[in-house]
Amino acid sequence: MVETTRRGFASIRFLRTYGTVVAGLLIVLVFAVLSPDSFASLDNAINISRQISFLVIIALGATLVMSVGEFDLSVGAVASFGGVLSAKMAVAGYPIPICMLAPLAASLIIGFVNGWIVTRFRVLSFITTLAMGTILGGLNFKLTGGATVFENIPDSFRYLGQTEWGGLPLLSFLMLFMTVLFWYVMAHTPFGRKLYAIGGNESASRIAGVHVARNKNAAFALCAMLAALTGVLMASRLGSAHPTAGDGMFLSAYAAAFLGMTSFKEGIPNIWGTFVGAAIIGILANGLTILEVPTYMQDVITGCIVISAVLSQKLGRERKR
Amino acid sequence: MALLEVVRLYKTFGPHYALSDVHFDIMPGEVHGLVGENGAGKSTFIKIVTGVYAPDSGKLVWQGNPVAIPGPDAARRLGINVVHQDRHLIPSFTGYENLFLGLDYPRKAAGMRVDWKAMRSRAKRMAEEFGVALDMSKPAAHMSPPEKTMLEILRAMMLDCKLLILDEPTASLTDREAERLFMLIRQLTEQGTAVLYVSHRMEEILRLSDRITVFQNGRSMATVGRPEASKDRLITLMSSAGAMKSQALVKAVQVGEPLLEAKGLSTTDGKVRDIDLTVRQGEIVGLFGLAGSGRTELLETLYGLRDKAGGEVRFRGRRVAAASPRDSLDQGVVLIPEERKRDALVMDMTIRENMTLPVLKRFSGWWKMRRKAELAEARRWMEDLKVKAAGPEQTVGELSGGNQQKVVFARALLSSPVLFLCDEPTQAVDVMTREEIHRLLRDQADQGCGVLFVSSDLQEVLDISDRLYVLHGSRIAAELDNRDVTPEQVLAICYSQGKESELRHG
């Protein structure tokens, strides 16, 4: 009797920690059964890994900012901005590496300004970054005149987005590299520890000598940089940049991060959780498209999955008490 | 017949009696003073009468009938209302909107639209009835402290209020503002409302009250009529029985060089005024003051959490310009904050992560944390301080209060401090841990550290300090060598300073 209860608790604990991963695997299984030829193929797996690379990278940034207890609602607009800026620079004839790097540098500054306004003047990050997103949205239209930038872009602009190594997209490698890098930063460096401490208890962190403002600014800056990188990669993939190309990414990025909070480290934003969250969203989009489910229904299903993941975690916790 | 009779009320929190055999009565239309040291049980009593806590035993007799007060609503229905020192008003709401808070707004015929006109005129009538000159259409945020207090009292009177409890109502008022409040109190009692007046200010208590009840250590010591009451009599009743003299270990303290010297220290918000203070190597300096006297604020200013407006701080003889917590830590100053949950620990993180947070540099290269060294260090401190936990990887939030406080101390010790700023370091910890913390601080002092020790438990301050400062109204009211100091002496300083300091900055 005692044994079974203990085992019962252990399994609840397992589900709380890995429930989202299990759910993700179940989704894969369902699609594989429903569509054995198209979904469950190596080509499609590679395809998915490329499709989710954008979402993973932008969601990593969202996770950083969430780990200090803030939000950055400008990530979508920053992504669009990154794409537009790199494409415009490519058209203007700047060397391609510069076209790729300049948006990252510019976005570091944008993110830092976000952080500075939040920490220096104690403005809610919600408001600050919403406004920053609006400003950039306008700027993106100004830069492009509202049209897609695609003429006179040199072929080498597409290198990052279209190169494959041994049949695998460079984008997928980049995504994995970024995930591992930021996992390492968050889990094994003093900087990551400080970010989590600030998110856990800002006042206690300040008293323990952590420079709260400085570290928060860094989180905002890195978040914006990752968003801009996403935009650059999307532009490179398509060989063109639209002024609103990244805008829609912002909701999915947070959906991924919230899904991620339900796995591995319960209730705490974490890198691998975000990766899993983004993967689930990407797999759903891919599988549902293959099954010819209309896009609007995909949104409905994705939303439902986020809500049920968060709910199921809450239920598990109540049983614990 | 008494309005409220309190019969043998008991209440425990854990092993401690918060209230023990409390009995007294309140007559209709009287002002009944209630005094007692910090932690004497006044707040607990108020919470029982207003239905926030249930008593363990004893009864409340309301107008001759025993009553149970299961919640704040029940108290309000009986006619018991409380006005707290921290005000419960919605800043952006106007006076009359606040007045109707929690009540049904008057409606127009259809039952949908709020009848603002009726609200306004009712508010106006209330104000006139009680002789309060107050612009009710002003948002609460734009009201002065006394106006807010009056507004809260009026709100209490909206329902038929028979007993009004005022908890430190003049804490933020100047003398002239307080006079307005006293007029209002007289108005209320003339109409038959009883007022239970809780205050640290003896002059007010003696002036306003018809009778005064004194709490000490959770007991009601006596109820005295105004004619027989005097400040000395009340203070004697308030201070702990057996007149325990300071038990500071009689030892020749080897006092060394001054570690911390503050001169004329003030903050912009006026919570710290003109403080002169010294802490030397090898001594434990007590800092006592009543609630709101600026104890916490002083420690926070010294630690670099508050902006200095004037004065200077020297640490080991060197002037400290604008300190930040980081600078303080680097110089060997640690703060044990009063609010453990809010200011000391990251509850979601492990014991190890909490301990090493201020000294991450020691356990990392420029990029990688050395987790093994970190773990070993955390283990060592857990053993040293006898932290009871599953291991260094246990989440701090799962520990008991005493063990959490040990983690806070371990973290402090990890940065090899020379000066401890302790704000209520033994609050909400068990007796054992309390002893251990006292011993630890004494050891540290013996090794040449300095300790500035704040506690609202006067006996504790007298037991542990070599020397003590008494704070009052954000200033230092006295400095005492802790030899044969009695609690009465210290309390007398706290209570007698009231008037003059008020005049000085009022």
- pLDDT tens digits, one per residue of A261-287: 988 777 889 999 999 999 999 999 999
Q: What is the CATH number of the domain that holds A10?
A: 1.10.3470.10
Residue A68, pLDDT score: 96
Residue B477 is assigned to a structural domain of this protein? yes
Task: Supply φ then ψ for residue A268, to 5 degrees.
Answer: -120, 130
Rounded to 5 degrees, φ, ψ at B300 are -65, -35
Q: What is the Cα–Cα distance from A202 to A210, expressed in whole angstroms? A: 9
In a domain, B249, yes or no: no
| Domain total in chain A | 1
Q: Measured between beta carbons, which residues in chain A are less than 8 angstroms from residue B326?
A: 209-211
Cα gap B483→B250, rounded to integer Å: 9
Task: Compute the distance between CA of residue A150 and CA of residue A138 in angstroms, rounded to an integer.
Answer: 20
One-character DSSP codes across A281-302: HHHHHHHHHHTT--HHHHHHHH
The verdict on a CB contact (< 8 Å) between A193 and B303 is no
Contact (CB, 8 A) for A64 and A254 = no
B345 and B479 in a single domain? The answer is no
Clarify whether residues B325 and B367 are in a common domain: no
pLDDT in the model for residue A39: 92
With b for 16 or more beta-carbon neighbours within 10 A and e for fewer, the B23-42 pattern comes to ebbbeebbbbbbbbbebbbb
Say if the Cβ atoms of B342 and A188 lie within 8 Å. no
Among candidate residues B186, B204, B238, the one where a domain is terminated: B238
Q: Measuring CA to CA, which residue among B85, B53, B84, B86 is closest to residue B68?
A: B53
The helix or strand, by DSSP H or E, that contains position B411, with its residue range, turns out to be: helix B401-414
More confident residue, A4 or B18: B18
Alpha carbon separation from A128 to A56, A125, A155 (Å, rounded): 24, 5, 38
Give pLDDT tens digits for B449-466: 999 999 888 888 998 999
Round the average pLDDT of chain B to a whole number and report it. Answer: 87
Q: Which of A181, A191, A201 to mutate to test the interface with B (most CBs of B within 10 A)?
A: A201
Any chain A CB within 8 A of the CB of B342? yes
Question: Is B248 inside any structural domain?
Answer: no
pTM: 0.81
**Which residue is closest to A266 within chain B, CA to CA?**
B348
**Minimal CA separation from A279 to chain B, in Å:** 27
What's the pLDDT tens digit per position in B171-200? 767 777 788 889 889 988 998 999 999 988
Question: Does some domain include residue B233?
Answer: yes
Q: CA distances (Å), B405 to each of B73, B194, B332, B396, in order?
A: 37, 43, 19, 10
Q: Considering only CA atoms, which of B51, B52, B32 is closest in space to residue B193?
A: B32
Task: Name residues 309-328 of chain B within 8 A of A (Cβ).
Answer: 325-326, 328
Mark whether B389 and B427 lie in a shared domain. Answer: no
Residue B252 belongs to a domain: no
Are residues A47 and A196 in contact, defined by beta-carbon separation less than 8 angstroms? no
Q: Are residues B183 and B314 located together in one domain of the fold?
A: no
Q: Provide the residue range defining the domain that includes A210.
A: 2-320
- Within 8 A by CB and 6+ apart from A304, the residues are none
What's B343's DSSP letter? I
**pLDDT at position A262:** 82
Query: B114 falls in which pLDDT band (50, 70, 90)?
Result: confident
List CB contacts of B85: < 8 A, sequence separation 6 or more.
B167, B168, B169, B171, B172
CA distance A41 to A152: 37
Please indicate whether residue B506 or residue B57 has the higher confidence score (pLDDT).
Answer: B57
Give the CA distances from residue B240 to residues A214, B37, B464, in Å, rounded to whole numbers and listed in that order.
Answer: 49, 9, 17
A208–B358: do the CB atoms touch at under 8 Å?
A: yes
- Which residues does chain A have within 8 Å of residue B368's beta carbon, measured at their own beta carbons? 188-189
Q: For residue B501, what pLDDT band results from cuts at 50, 70 and 90?
A: very low
Residues B234 and B266 both lie in one domain: no
- The whole-angstrom separation of Cα B119 and Cα B107 is 9
* Helix (DSSP H) and strand (DSSP E) numbers for chain A: 13, 2
List the one residue out of A170, A194, A193 whose CA is nearest residue A57: A170
Select the more confidently predicted residue: B89 or B355: B355
Task: Output DSSP code: residue A211.
Answer: -
B325 in the same domain as B184: no
In a domain, B405, yes or no: no
Contact B346 A210 (CB under 8 A): no
Asked whether B399 and B344 are in contact (CB, 8 A), the reply is no
What is the structure's pLDDT at A6? Answer: 53
Sorted by sequence, the CB contacts under 8 Å of residue B196 that are 6+ apart come out as: B26, B32, B34, B46, B163, B164, B165, B166
Together in a domain, B195 and B317: no
Same domain, B66 and B202: yes
pLDDT > 70: what percent of chain B?
A: 93
Q: Do B305 and A207 touch (CB under 8 A)?
A: yes
Work out the angle between the directed axes of helices A42-67 and A271-290 (0-180°, nearest 10): 140
Which residues in chain B have their CB less than 8 angstroms from residue A208's CB?
A: 325, 329, 357-358, 411
**What residues of chain A, 197 to 216, have a C-beta less than 8 Å from chain B?**
197, 200-201, 203-211
pLDDT tens figures, B69-83: 998 889 988 999 998
Instruction: Provide the token pair at A44.
Output: 């499609």
**How close is the nearest chain A Cα to the Cα of B421, in Å?**
12
A208 and B361: CB-CB below 8 Å?
A: no
**For an interface test with B, which of A191, A198, A207, A211 has the most B Cβ atoms less than 10 Å from its Cβ?**
A207
Q: Does B332 touch chain A (CB under 8 A)?
A: no
> What ipTM was reported for this prediction?
0.89
Q: Would residue B352 count as lying in a domain?
A: yes
Mean pLDDT (whole number) for B397-405: 89
Residue B80 and residue B163 in contact, taking contact as beta carbons nearer than 8 Å: yes
| Those residues with Cβ within 8 angstroms of residue A29's Cβ, 6 or more apart along the chain or in another chain | none
pLDDT of residue A96: 96
Q: Verify that B168 and B96 share a domain, yes or no.
A: yes
In chain B, how many domains are there? 3
Per the structure, the complete domain to which residue B139 belongs is given by 4-238
Q: Is the pLDDT of residue B350 over 60?
A: yes
The kind and range of the H/E element at B319 are strand B318-320
pLDDT digits (tens, 9 = 90+) for B293-328: 889 999 999 999 998 888 999 999 888 877 899 999
Contacts of B412 in chain A (CB under 8 A): none
Please report whether residue B410 resides in a domain: no
CATH code of B265's domain = 3.40.50.300
Q: Are residues B441 and B462 in the same domain?
A: yes
Which of B303, B346, B364 is closest, CB to CB, to A190? B364
Averages of pLDDT over each 10 residues, chain A, 321 residues: 53 77 91 91 94 97 96 97 97 96 98 97 96 97 94 93 93 97 96 96 96 97 98 96 94 93 84 95 94 90 87 63 34
Rounded to whole angstroms, the Cα distance separating B32 from B49 reads 15
pLDDT tier at B58, thresholds 50, 70, 90: very high
Of A190, A267, A268, the CB nearest to B361: A190
Sign of CA dihedral A28, A31, A36, A38: negative
Structure tokens at A274: 């975000």
